[in-house]
Each structure stands twice: as C-alpha cells, then as structure tokens.
A = this chain, B = another copy of it.
Amino acid sequence: MADSSAIDFVVRPIGRVASPLTSTADAPRQGDEGAPDAYLILDSEVQAGLHGIGVGDEIIVLTWLHEADRSILKVHPRGDLSRPEQGVFNTRASSRPNPIGLHRVRVLNIDGQRMHVSELEAIDGTPILDLKPVLGSIEER
C-alpha cells in the first residue's frame, strides 16, 4: 500500500477560542473536568454557516491544538507515569500526528459571530476548524 501521507490537505481556521485559560498546563484534560465557559469568535466570512444554531444546543467543536507535538505516537494516559504507555490514537492526548481537538459544549448565548459556550478546555487563541451538531436519534435528523 502506498504511503497515504503523500497527499496533504490545508485546513483554514474559521475562528478562535477566547478563554480565561492561557496555558495548557492550567487546562483540565476534558471539558467536564472543570473547564471554564469560553467564547467561540467566528470569522465574519463564515457567519452564514452558523444559521440555525440556537441557545441551548449541544454542539461539537473541532479545534487545532496548535501547541501539540505531532511527532509523538505513544504517551502515558493522562500524563500518569504509573500507567503503561498507550498509542496516541487510544488516548485523547493533544499530541498526535494531526492534533485535532474534539470538544462537546452547550451554547449559552449567541451574539453575531461570538458564541458563548459551556465548559471548554481549549486555551485562549486555539484555532477553530469546524462546528457540528450533536446527532439525535435517527428520527430527529
């Protein structure tokens, strides 16, 4: 099989996270482990893409974890040296070949291109790549 990495793709951030978290050292490992509320500041040129998202909705935010080390393939889960090393694809470590963060949040408020969301562990300035609705049952789609 040919090496798949021969073809690269370019991702273009659609906005940035604004958060009181300024360092990954201070950030909780997941949103539901004590992360603060934060703002998603979306670019004006993608604002039409937000149409229909409402206060109270649960959404998935994909980010680019810009401080990650892309060369790492094995880690101790949660940085706990007493736990045996795992492949990064079996963990939520930020360090991985394509450091895309996956965050499930609730929309608290929307003001134009500025969306207030609950419990986001991404640090201030983290690039946002995509937003998706959380899927309900098949009947609700």
Residues of chain A at the chain B interface (Cβ within 8 Å) = 1, 3-5, 7-16, 29-30, 32-33, 41, 43, 45-46, 48-53, 57, 59-60, 62, 64, 66, 73-74, 77-78, 85-92, 96-98, 100, 102, 127-133, 135, 138, 141
Given A4-B14, A4-B127, A52-B90, 9 additional A-B pairs, CB 8 A:
A4-B16, A7-B13, A8-B10, A11-B100, A49-B73, A53-B89, A53-B90, A77-B141, A100-B130
Bound: A13/B11 CA distance, A: 12
Bound: A141/B73 CA distance, A: 19
Bound: A128/B92 CA distance, A: 17
